């Protein structure tokens, strides 16, 4: 089954608009015309206009790092799906572990944000993953199962075509500690099986499932060669054009 590989960068709270423009110009130049995977950069909200301009007419897509679940209203500092869409954003990360850890994101708000993103024509990169404590307690699969069942409650099979799931073990994010190829594959395979149970084998087989957690220029090729890993969500290494390019080139 040919699935779409997606290499997505998550810049987190890094790069001013001018810095974003410069880095994107480097990334665009290094990756012009590549078709083995979809290339997405999820930039800080303030950088979005500069990012859209720097990537216009190229093979690089722009994503946001969050979206609010209401259409509009008294939600100071929040950004709506319609605002993102109008700016030219195609993807949005939802439920990143840093949002869950520091900003009170829950499985329920992940569900609401996912529904809102999809209803507005955005593609959702929904993050799931266990903490080190949860892995040590042997509840990784239970936890992932709950996160997924809640994240996609009420989301139709048709809408799942615009969903990417990123498996990001929390203990591997920004720590330099990567899950082994086998650990990452085991959970991504479990996720695909769960999607098959909840929807259908067709939906599961078509779904892009990424691994994220200290993926870098050195370990990307092995991780991306695993059967159920169809791309990466990349933090630190997406801030360096040569490293991010090597990861893109690791997709076979
Ligand atoms: C992330 O931010 O989703 C991530 C995986 O970060 P890093 O690659 O730096 O671990």
Q: If you measure from the C-alpha of residue 10 to the centroid of ligand 1, how many angstroms do you get, rounded to a whole number?
A: 7
44 alpha carbon – ligand 1 mean position (Å): 15
- Rounded to two decimals, what is the model's pTM? 0.98
Quickly state the pLDDT bin for 53 (edges 50, 70, 90): very high
pLDDT band at 1 (very low <50, low <70, confident <90, very high): low
Using H for helix, E for strand and C for coil, what is the string for the chain?
Answer: CCCCCEEEEECCCCCCHHHHHHHHHHHHHHHCCCCCCEEEEECCHHHHHHHHHHHCCCCEEEEECCCCCCCCCCCCCCCCHHHHHHHCCCEEEECCHHHHHHCCCCHHHHHHHHHHHHHCCCEEEEEECCCHHHHHCCCHHHHHHHHHHHHCCCCCCCHHHHEEEEECCHHHCCCCCCCCHHHHHHHHHHHHHHHHHHCCHHHHHHCEEEEECCCCCCCHHHHHCCCCCCEEEECHHHHCHHHHHHHHHCCC
**pLDDT tens-digit map of 121-179:** 999 999 999 999 999 999 999 999 999 999 999 999 999 999 999 999 999 998 988 89
Mutate-to-test residue for ligand 1 from 215, 223, 229, 238, highest number of ligand atoms within 8 A of CB: 215
**pLDDT for 36:** 96
Nearest CA to ligand 1 atom 2: 235
pLDDT computed for residue 252 by the predictor: 86
pLDDT recorded at residue 62 = 98
Per-residue pLDDT for 2 more than 90? Answer: no
Q: How confident is the model at residue 83 (pLDDT cuts 50, 70, 90)?
A: very high
- Ligand 1 contacts (CB < 6 A) are 10, 12, 96, 168, 173-174, 212-215, 233-237
Condensed to tens digits (0 to 9), the pLDDT of residues 4-34 reads 999 999 999 999 999 999 999 999 999 999 9
Mean pLDDT in residue range 64-68:
98
Give me the chain's average pLDDT, please: 97
């Amino acid at each position: 089954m040919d699935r779409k590989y997606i290499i997505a960068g998550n810049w987190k709270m890094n790069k001013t608009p001018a810095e974003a423009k410069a880095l994107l110009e480097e990334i665009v130049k290094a990756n012009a015309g590549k078709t083995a995977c979809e290339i997405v950069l999820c930039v800080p909200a303030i950088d979005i206009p500069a990012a859209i301009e720097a990537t216009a007419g190229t093979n690089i897509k722009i994503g946001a790092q969050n979206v609010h679940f209401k259409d509009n209203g008294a939600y100071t500092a929040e950004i709506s799906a319609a605002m993102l869409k109008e700016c030219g954003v195609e993807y949005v990360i939802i439920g990143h572990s840093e949002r869950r850890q520091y900003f009170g994101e829950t499985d329920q708000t992940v569900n609401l944000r996912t529904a809102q993103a999809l209803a507005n024509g955005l593609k959702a990169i929904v993050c799931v993953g266990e903490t080190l404590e949860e892995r040590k307690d042997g509840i990784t699969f239970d936890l992932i199962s709950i996160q997924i069942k809640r994240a996609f409650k009420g989301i139709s099979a048709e809408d799942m075509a615009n969903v990417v799931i990123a498996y990001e073990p929390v203990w591997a994010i920004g720590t330099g500690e990567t899950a082994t190829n086998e650990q990452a594959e085991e959970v991504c395979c479990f996720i695909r099986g769960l999607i098959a149970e909840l929807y259908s084998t067709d939906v599961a087989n078509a779904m892009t499932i990424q691994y994220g957690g200290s993926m870098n220029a050195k370990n990307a090729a092995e991780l991306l060669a695993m059967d159920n890993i169809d791309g990466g969500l990349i933090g630190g290494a997406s801030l360096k054009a040569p490293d991010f390019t090597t990861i893109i080139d690791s997709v076979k």
